[in-house]
């Protein structure tokens, strides 16, 4: 016996599922579905509909894109500044212990997978340093407040009231 959560009969649930499959082209073979999906992306910038968020995938990506770009640029600028500084110091002290240490650190930085390094950093931040809000991009000072978007994040990070990302800053968030 099949159980459904909507209270509809089996025939009504099957008819509704078939109507959904027909409306979304799910009766077509997988290669045809894939070509139709790619064609929709190319011609209409339509990535489909998210069943999890119940809205178009393009809207989900667009609302997360500013925070992603901000985090990527922050990481790139920090990595470039640290790398260039280490390179200059290592070049001015050639064949010294500092040169060897910086060479070893840069080698590790290039070979350790990023996800593993992120897990190790999060472990030390949470269990060794007591930082509690590691997995959140936004400051807990603004959590859930209307308009607590990327502009609030940029302003709070520039004014020194909170760090933009605890894993990057390596310190607990301070709310004013």
Identify each DSSP E strand in the chain by its residue range. Answer: 49-50, 55-56
Predicted TM-score (pTM) of the model is 0.59
Q: How confident is the model at residue 166 (pLDDT cuts 50, 70, 90)?
A: very low
What mean pLDDT comes out for the span 81-97? 94
Q: What is the dihedral of CA 51, 55, 58, 62, to 10 degrees?
A: -120
Question: In the structure, what pLDDT confidence band is assigned to residue 168 with cuts at 50, 70 and 90?
Answer: very low
pLDDT by residue (tens digit) across 106-142?
999 889 998 898 899 889 988 999 887 776 666 666 6
CA–CA gap between residue 33 and residue 35 (Å, rounded): 6
Q: Which distant-in-sequence residues (6+ apart) come within 8 Å of 103 by Cβ?
A: 90
């Amino acid at each position: 016996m099949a159980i459904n959560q909507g209270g509809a009969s089996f025939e009504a649930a099957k008819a509704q599922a078939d109507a959904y499959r027909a409306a979304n082209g799910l009766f077509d073979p997988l290669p045809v579905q894939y070509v139709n999906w790619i064609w929709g992306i190319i011609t209409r910038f339509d990535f489909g509909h998210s069943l999890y968020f119940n809205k178009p995938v393009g809207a989900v990506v667009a609302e997360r894109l500013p925070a992603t770009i901000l985090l990527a640029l922050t990481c790139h600028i920090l990595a470039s500044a640290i790398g260039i500084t280490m390179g200059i110091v290592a070049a001015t002290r050639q064949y010294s212990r500092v040169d060897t240490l910086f060479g070893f650190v840069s080698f590790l930085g290039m070979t350790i997978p990023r996800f593993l390094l992120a897990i190790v950093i999060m472990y030390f931040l949470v269990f060794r340093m007591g930082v509690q809000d590691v997995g959140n991009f936004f400051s807990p000072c603004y959590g859930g407040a209307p308009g607590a978007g990327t502009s609030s994040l940029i302003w709070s990070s520039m004014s020194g009231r909170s760090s933009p990302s605890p894993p990057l800053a390596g310190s607990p968030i301070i709310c004013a």
